[in-house]
Chains A and B, each alone.
Chain A
Amino acid sequence: MNYPLMLYISLAMFTMGVIGILTRRNPLIFFLAIELMLNAANLLFVSFARQWENQIGLVWVFFVVVVAAAEAAVGLAIIINLFRSKQIVDIDQYNDLQG
């Protein structure tokens, strides 16, 4: 049970999600990068729970997964609706809210 290694992997995964969001412009891959970040947080929760023998971390993983499912439903609906309204795949061109 290598606990610093788990933290390190979680860090690598989370920052990879951040890089994906900052560089990719496809909304679907954007969405998957967000899921990567959520999963990195889950790994962190589980490894902390294992290290301190406390099950509360595992309970929080449950909540994170449920919120991720809700986010998936709403986010994918927004992506479909955006595409239906403007017929564009590039997320940089959806700048209607910039004022």
Chain B
Amino acid sequence: MTGIDIAQWILGFLLVASSFGVIIANKPVYASLSFLSSLLILAALFLLLSAQFVAIMQILVYAGAILVLFMFVIILFQDAYLQIGKFKARSNRWLLTIAGISWVLLLAGVGAVITQYPVSANPLPEGFGTVQSLGQALYIDFFFPFEAVIVIFLIAIVGALYIGRKVHS
């Protein structure tokens, strides 16, 4: 077992733990902080899997843009929570128990199968995961999907503005 393997075990455990923190958190602020830590751990795992560009992009876009937008919405909701006093949207205790038991059973079953897979470490090709090679793939092989994604993003922003506008009734 090399150092990378041990690091993967530790990071994987931390990732599952912080993902668990996301779904058991009482308040959305704690959930989003836990999600932030899971994002950072995921970026570290991507670095271990030698995907540097994806790791940096993960931190920039997810932690930098999406999570900040999410925090703004939490700030907007803060006032609402104080007014209404319905902090904890309830969840059914039986439902939680059933979900937890089936989760453990699923992981145990898959874990029994997946340990029989061979653990191989293939040598990497030159320049795998760097900005240069990924840029080549993105701008040459995937040029049309790239442009289509730009249009999707534009439509999403216009739609968000339209949904979020103030309606005078």
Contact = CB atoms under 8 A, between A and B. Distances in A.
A16 B16 contact: yes
Interface in A1-16: 1-9, 11-13, 15-16
Contacts of A25: 89-91
Interface residues of B, number: 87
Interface string B85-126: 011111110011001100100110011001101011110110
Interface residues of A, number: 69
Contacts of B38: 13, 36, 39
B84 A89 contact: yes
A74 B154 CA distance: 11
Contacts of A52: 122
Interface string A1-45: 111111111011101110110111110110111011001001100
Contacts of B110: 8, 11
A51 B119 CA distance: 10
A1 B49 contact: yes
A55 B141 CA distance: 11
Contacts of B77: 28, 83, 89
Contacts of A68: 62, 66
A73 interface: yes
B124 A53 contact: yes
Nearest to B74: A28
Nearest to B97: A23
A73 to B, nearest CB: 4
Contacts of B164: 77, 80-81
Interface centre among A43, A68, A73 (most CB of B within 10 A): A73
Interface string A68-99: 11111110111111010001111110000000
